[in-house]
Amino acid sequence: MHLSATTPILRIFDEALARTFYLDYLGFEPVFEHRFEPHLPLYMGIRQGACSIHLSGHHGDACPGASVRIAVDDVQAYQRALAARGPYPTAPVQTMPWGTRDFSVTDPFGNRLTFTSAISV
SS3 annotation, the chain: CCCCCCCCEEECCCHHHHHHHHHHHCCCEEEEEECCCCCCCCEEEEEECCEEEEEECCCCCCCCCCEEEEECCCHHHHHHHHHHHCCCCCCCCEECCCCEEEEEEECCCCCEEEEEEECCC
Instruction: Note the CATH number of domain 9-118.
Output: 3.10.180.10
Mean pLDDT for the chain overall? 94
Mean pLDDT within 2-25: 95
Check residue 88 and give its pLDDT: 86
Check residue 121 and give its pLDDT: 64
pLDDT tens per residue across span 37-96: 999 999 999 999 999 999 999 988 999 899 999 999 999 999 999 999 888 888 899 999
